[in-house]
Amino acid sequence: MSSLSGKTAIVTGGTSGMGEGVALKFAEEGANVLISGRYEERGESVVQKILKKGGSAFFNPGDISTSKANKKLVESAVSHFGQLDILVLSAGRLGLGKITELPEEEWLRTIDVNLNSAFYIMRYAIPEMLVNGGGNIVIIGSVAAFHAFPSHAAYCASKGALISLVRQVAADYGPEIRINLLCPAQVDTPLLRSSVKAFDNPETIIRQTEAKLPMKRLGTTNDIADAVHFLASDSSSWITGSCLTIDGGFLCT
Ligand SMILES: NC(=O)c1ccc[n+]([C@@H]2O[C@H](COP(=O)([O-])OP(=O)(O)OC[C@H]3O[C@@H](n4cnc5c(N)ncnc54)[C@H](OP(=O)(O)O)[C@@H]3O)[C@@H](O)[C@H]2O)c1
């Protein structure tokens, strides 16, 4: 039997990058997957990839920065698949700018998407998980929680706050709910590519980034999907409230 057979998972940010990788992996492992993102075309394309391989998935469109949208996501998973077991929060944005230059709206929007959405969705998801005896939550943080990157004030603050939130939820809801934070460094996704687009020589920036990493390559969405699967499965049954860095050695440099 596959490791996630009979489980239902919500994957926010499932329309692209790491979230897409996680959605594909979870479906391969037998889970029913609800994919969340704003763009219908991208969401449906991931759903089709899963259905073609005999998996089970559907797309629920919406901007996850409001409480209402997160409530709808959870209700939608339960009405479609009858239960909720796993939550993976991969949706995120960069919101670049130094404190003195960043428009207030940009700060607030980044905190809404990267941090407040986790608060909103867990308020609705945890009670549904408890109905079936418990559940598992994996949030995608970032090494930006530990390391300053120029002009990433809102991003670093939002990712840093997730460390405390994850510990707190683990303490409040264990043993029924396990929750962990996965903190990647540079992973080859559309978000990373868009962050270097502004440079004259984006490919050189990527090559320089790779050269600085002890593992000499960017992370892949498969690297992330495997780690999320580990945290979401029984293989990690005594791990909760922790922060796992997955960074090719970035924090050693
Ligand atoms: N790539 C990296 O190097 C890196 C490193 C460390 C941490 N991270 C973190 O990893 C996570 C995934 O990033 P990624 O690199 O995979 O980026 P990505 O390919 O750009 O994917 C981001 C996802 O977030 C969704 N999203 C963004 N804003 C949203 C909103 N307001 N409402 C609903 N969905 C929204 C997007 O969906 P739609 O476009 O369909 O709305 C998309 O599916 C993020 O939390 C990011 O901070 C990335």
**Where in the chain are the domains?**
8-186+220-252
Segment 237-248 shows an average pLDDT of 98
CA dihedral defined by 82, 79, 116, 162, rounded to 10 degrees?
20
Ligand 1: nearest atom to the Cα of 155: 47
DSSP assignment letter at 82:
S
Q: Whose CA is nearest to atom 37 of ligand 1?
A: 37
Distance 1 CA to ligand 1 centre (A): 31
Residue 14 CA, ligand 1 centroid: distance in Å: 8
User: Cα–Cα–Cα angle for 84, 87, 58, nearest 5°?
Assistant: 70
Closest-CA residue, ligand 1 atom 23, reads 13
Q: Is 206 in the pocket of ligand 1 (CB under 6 A)?
A: no
Report pTM: 0.98
Pick the CATH number of 8-186+220-252 from 3.40.640.10, 3.50.50.60, 1.10.10.10, 3.40.50.720: 3.40.50.720
Atom of ligand 1 nearest to the CA of 219: 3
* pLDDT value of residue 208: 96
- Please identify, by atom number, the ligand 1 atom nearest to the C-alpha of residue 18: 16
What integer is the mean pLDDT of 65-77? 97
124 is catalytic: no
Whole-Å CA distances, 156 to 23, 115, 132, 232, 245:
26, 11, 35, 25, 15
Is residue 205 lining ligand 1, measured as CB closer than 6 Å? no
pLDDT digits (tens, 9 = 90+) for 128-175: 999 999 999 999 999 999 999 999 999 999 999 999 999 999 999 999
Ligand 1 contacts CB of residue 19 (under 6 A): yes
Q: In what order do the strands lie in the sheet with 177-184?
A: 56-61, 32-37, 8-12, 86-89, 135-140, 177-184, 243-246
> For 92-123, how does the pLDDT look when each residue is reduced to its tens digit (9 = 90+)?
999 999 999 999 999 999 999 999 999 999 99
Task: Give pLDDT, residue 189.
Answer: 98
